[in-house]
Amino acid sequence: MANEKLTTEEINNKLLLATDGNGSTVFHMAAGKDTPEILQKVWEWANEKLTTQEINNKSLLATDAWGTTLFHVATEGGRLEIFQKLWEWANEKATTEEINNLLLAIDSGRRTLFHVAIDRGRLEMLQKLWECANKKLTAEEINNKLLLATDVDRRTIFLMATEVGRLEILKKVLKWANKIVTTEEINNKLLLATDYLGRTVFHMTAWRGRLEILQKLWECAKKKLTTEDINNNVLLATDFQRKTIFQLATDGGRLEMLQKLWEWANESLTTEEINNKLLLATDFWGRTVFNMATDQGRLEILMYGMCLHRLQ
């Protein structure tokens, strides 16, 4: 019908290349739906009507008002089939530099495609992105602009994996990091790095109550970090609320995690540090672990804490 009534210029500028109030094209909308056949049809029309330059700059490479590319849209929805189509078309039409820019693109929240995939728990999509990145990008680009990149909240993909609580994703990221990231970078920019709230991966995990992830992180820490780092930057480190991971576990009512942390603290800390910086330490509001356990109404945690205190 449009072909019968509208001019080619109108079809191009007011349909295929038009954007809505959010800066989204029809490609953005099609990439965000579980209907690859619609995206395929839009692509066919674009190839009939548009120049290669218009397809590249105003469709494949276009971003909306939030800096979101088509790759971001497909990744966020976990739409692997749609992402695969976009990837094939990009390789047909775009230059190597343009493809690389798509893989390294960040949205207005400074999220890479890797951030988006992990934030949504898209393991299969994350694996596909890794394969694409390895085909096109240098090790330095993968290292600095994907594995160690931080979003607007200063979260690496490593920290984000702990936040969403996906052990299989965390293992995958750690495996990749061990291939190309230096030990010093793993230590300082992944294991001990903090987000804008001063939270390490250990704080995040204690807050979320993911014991299996905490155990994996502890294994990494024992292999990579010095005893001093483990003591000061893991066990005794405080977040923006001046809470240690010991306090976060208590505040969340996580007895099993608290028991594990106590075991690790006894392996590494002095009696004085345990007393003054764990058992008797106060958060921003002046609360000790005993205040938190009482506030939570968790008698078993309160009794456990009292036993620990007597042991000291």
User: What pLDDT, in 10s, does the model give residues 180-231?
Assistant: 999 999 999 999 999 999 999 999 999 999 999 999 999 999 999 999 999 9
Question: Looking at residue 14, what is its pLDDT?
Answer: 52
Distance between alpha carbon 57 and the CA centroid of its chain, in Å?
A: 28
Question: Looking at residue 307, what is its pLDDT?
Answer: 52
Place of tokens 């393991």: 123
pLDDT at 18 over 80: no
pLDDT at 53 over 90: no
Strands (E), the chain: none
Closest CA to 31 of 102, 133, 98: 102
pLDDT at 166 over 80: yes
Q: Name every residue whose Cβ is closer than 8 Å to that of residue 268 and which is 6 or more positions away in sequence.
A: 227, 230, 231, 235
Closest CA to 276 of 288, 268, 267, 264: 288
- 246 and 239 Cβ atoms separated by less than 8 Å: no
Question: Looking at residue 66, what is its pLDDT?
Answer: 94
The per-residue pLDDT of the chain, averaged, comes to 88
Question: Looking at residue 58, what is its pLDDT?
Answer: 79
Closest CA to 143 of 98, 87, 201, 186: 186
Question: Looking at residue 24, what is its pLDDT?
Answer: 87
More confident residue, 149 or 300: 149
Question: Looking at residue 218, what is its pLDDT?
Answer: 97
Closest CA to 211 of 174, 285, 264: 264
The predicted model scores a pTM of: 0.89
Domains of the chain: 1-152 (1.25.40.20)
